[in-house]
Amino acid sequence: MDFRKDVLVWRDGMADWVEAVDLGGLEVELPPPAPPTSPYASPQTTSTHQFKGDSNGTKIVAGLCGIFLGWLGVHKFVYGATTPGIIMLLITICTCGWAAIIVWGIGAVEGIIYLTKSDQDFEEEYMIGKKGWF
């Protein structure tokens, strides 16, 4: 690695700043190079999303809504999957509640699945991927 003559460096134990070219045994630790990327890589390997860790509250609310209000599809609206939420709500309304027990069962199972997933898995599958069912 080449240093300009006028670059000064200092570290613990040194009395004064010295020019980098005069410092013998200077070792520079560089990070490892990034692996090469292929233009044909799958979307999962090229994702730029970083896990933020802020989905825990959404996961808990969606899980509890699925267990207690699954027959209305509320848990779907919590994480942004509006189409499946509307379908569940319409099934309950259009059958005058007769199918509510079936729809509630689906919602309860989904609520349990949400609560048992890790925060990162929940965020990737449901909040980013907008996975509609189970």
DSSP sequence for 96-134: TTTTHHHHHHHHHHHHHHHHHS-HHHHIIIIIIS-----
Taking only the tens of pLDDT, the chain with its 134 residues reads: 555 566 777 777 888 887 776 666 655 566 677 776 766 655 554 455 554 555 678 899 999 999 999 989 999 998 888 899 999 999 999 998 888 889 999 999 999 999 999 988 888 888 888 787 76
User: Considering the domain boundaries, does residue 49 fall inside one?
Assistant: no
Domain that holds residue 86: 56-128
Residue 12's pLDDT is what? 78
User: Considering the domain boundaries, does residue 91 fall inside one?
Assistant: yes
Give the count of domains, the chain. 1
Tell me how crowded residue 131 is: count the other CB atoms within 10 A of its CB.
15
Residues 128 and 125: their CA atoms lie apart, in Å, by: 6
Spatial neighbors of 132 by CB under 8 A, at least 6 apart, are 76, 81, 83, 84
Residue 54's pLDDT is what? 58
